[in-house]
Amino acid sequence: MLSPLCQRSDMSMQTEHPITVHRRRERDGVPLNDRLLRQSVLSGMYRRVVAGSYVRETAWKNLKPIQQHLVRVLEVADRARGPIVLTHSAAAAIHTIDRIGARPNLVDVRIAQSGGGRSSGAVRRRALGFEGVELVEWRGHLVTSPAQTVVDLASEATFTAGVVAADQVLWEHRSGGPLARHDELLGAFDTNRRRGVGRVPAVLEFSTELSDSVRESEARVLLDRLGFPRPELQKEFVLPSGRTVRSDFYFPEQDHVGEFDGVGKYFDPDILAGRTPEQALLEEKDRGDALRRQVSGLSRWRTPDQRDPARLYSILVADGLPSRFPPPRKRA
């Protein structure tokens, strides 16, 4: 019997492996040579994702970090002896809630508060209990809902990481629509006020449904901390060609556009949509040139600039965007 807070599974949840996994327990009548297997791992041909489960290294490296973690989650779930409750980073991978930085090597599982949190094998057990926790059915197991997952992550992560998670769930341009609405995030927090009381409300207040990537979410937080005006997101401009484009950030008082120039648009097959990287680069240049002629100022930056606040500050100020704060100290 499911608890009253348990919901039916969502079609957007990930349920299948993105790559082939070879398992020692599935010999298919062919004896597995442990010595050769060890040699394959040591040589870099195969990688062990959890005990007894292996993938080809080339296939693994072609996965995005969120997909790599999903492989671990699926392997842990498939070998569990009974229903488990996936939470935190594991739940984020299932719901395709992306994040910045490395994922944990262990799979987060929620247990009763009396159980005592501990790690063993491929699992990290979190003794947080289930009172008021929103759960969703998933492949014979349970997983925290998108809203609950945001609250869990925001309660223990940095402010930036919490905003990234919340923006991902609220994202209105997501295929199939947002994973949750803002009032659902607030509702999940209202029933879980035991942890993260100081940070979570600030995260939810700052979050938006208009941030199109994790790097844009990260940039929003950084721009605010550097003292720049709060921008409008995804403002539309009509170019002379008649094409309508959206800017990442628009500062109306300064008539200034800010653009995070991620490299994915030039290499990701889904974004390229049949174009070559060269074609995508030229189209982006033409778009930027046309947009620059319509506004008073335009700034572009990439991931290395975003990782160095002093560098990003210098770029924006040099391009004419004012800040209410002095420049941050440069890294040594």
Contacts of 88 (CB under 8 A, 6+ apart): 108, 126, 144, 149, 152, 153
**Same domain membership, residue 141 and residue 173:** yes
Structural domain containing residue 287 = 214-318
**Same domain membership, residue 267 and residue 234:** yes
Residue 190 has pLDDT above 90, yes or no: no
**Same domain membership, residue 126 and residue 200:** yes
Looking at 206, 240, 258, which one is the last position of a domain?
206
pLDDT in tens, 25-80: 776 444 456 777 788 889 999 999 998 899 999 999 999 999 999 999 999 999 99
**Same domain membership, residue 289 and residue 149:** no
Residue 139 lies in a domain: yes
Residue 61 lies in a domain: yes
**Same domain membership, residue 199 and residue 262:** no
DSSP classification of residue 111 = E
Bridge-partner residues for 298, per DSSP?
Answer: 257
Total domains, the chain = 2
DSSP classification of residue 326 = P
Residue 303 has pLDDT above 80, yes or no: yes
Residue 323 lies in a domain: no
**Same domain membership, residue 225 and residue 170:** no
Residue 126 lies in a domain: yes
Calculate the alpha carbon distances from 32 to 22, 23, 182, 189, 309 in Å.
Answer: 11, 10, 51, 49, 52
Higher pLDDT among residues 299 and 28, named by residue = 299
**Same domain membership, residue 168 and residue 98:** yes
Amino acid at 34: D
pLDDT in tens, 231-287: 999 999 998 889 899 999 999 999 999 999 876 666 667 666 677 878 777 888 888
Residue 332 lies in a domain: no
Helix-helix angle 146-156:182-190, to 10 degrees: 60
**Same domain membership, residue 72 and residue 12:** yes
**Same domain membership, residue 197 and residue 60:** yes
**Same domain membership, residue 64 and residue 182:** yes
Residue 331 lies in a domain: no
What mean pLDDT is predicted for residues 282-300? 89
Higher pLDDT among residues 131 and 268, named by residue = 131
- Of all residues in the chain, what percent carry a pLDDT higher than 90? 69
Residue 327 lies in a domain: no
DSSP H or E stretch at residue 246: strand 244-246
**Same domain membership, residue 92 and residue 157:** yes
